[in-house]
Amino acid sequence: MSASERLKKWLEVLREPDAEMSKIAADKLGELGSPDAVNDLIQALERRTATVATAAAYALGRIRDKRAVPALANALLTHQDVVVQTAAAYALGDIKSSDGIPALKQTIQEYLKTFLNDHYSLTRGYKRGLFTTSIDALKRIGTPDALRFAQKAESQAK
């Protein structure tokens, strides 16, 4: 089966109502790495269950197409599931676009504002992974501003 046939097959599976099969399809589309899957993966990120949205976010990160940055930033800031938010932050780090920096900074600032006076939640709370993944994403983007911000946030959270 050719790469374009595999792409077409997995895009069809991604659109199916079965969440588990759609998750598998998103994973496979990420492995294929085709920019032709970006729009469908963005739709899955925005409209499907948290399980499918998480897989779509990671797949978008693997494809590294900058067209996904606005949707990933939106998921990071507005999705109700912290696992989806964390996947979106990770994917923004994979794409390495400076356009993702504002959303990552906002996520970090909100975390620090919410938990700075609660040491337990700051260092062990359920959103700690989102916080550390956002810092890591800034480091992977690697602009001087992103690196400075990440370093400052890390020192505040100790």
Can you spell out the DSSP letters for 100-128? Answer: GHHHHHHHHHHHHHHHTT-HHHHHHSTTH
Cβ neighbours of 2 (radius 10 Å): 7
CB 93 within 8 A of CB 107: no
Predicted confidence at residue 32, as pLDDT, reads 95
Predicted confidence at residue 147, as pLDDT, reads 97
The angle at the Cα of 89, spanning 66 to 56, to the nearest 5 degrees, equals 65
Closest CA to 53 of 8, 86, 7: 86
Predicted confidence at residue 116, as pLDDT, reads 81
Closest CA to 104 of 115, 114, 89: 89
Closest CA to 56 of 70, 36, 39: 39
- Report the distance separating Cα 106 and Cα 129, nearest Å: 15
**Following DSSP, what letter does each residue of 31-60 receive, concatenated?**
HHT-GGGHHHHHHHHHHS-HHHHHHHHHHH
Handedness of CA 63, 66, 71, 73 (dihedral sign): positive
For every one of its 158 residues, what pLDDT tens digit does the chain have, with 9 covering 90 and above? Answer: 788 999 999 999 999 999 999 999 999 999 999 999 999 999 999 999 999 999 999 999 999 999 999 999 999 999 999 999 999 999 999 999 999 999 999 999 999 999 888 887 778 888 999 999 999 999 999 999 999 999 999 998 87
The reply to whether the predicted model has a pTM over 0.85 is yes
For domain 3-156, give the fold. Leucine-rich Repeat Variant (1.25.10)
What does each C-alpha distance from 147 to 37, 113, 125 come to in angstroms? 31, 20, 24
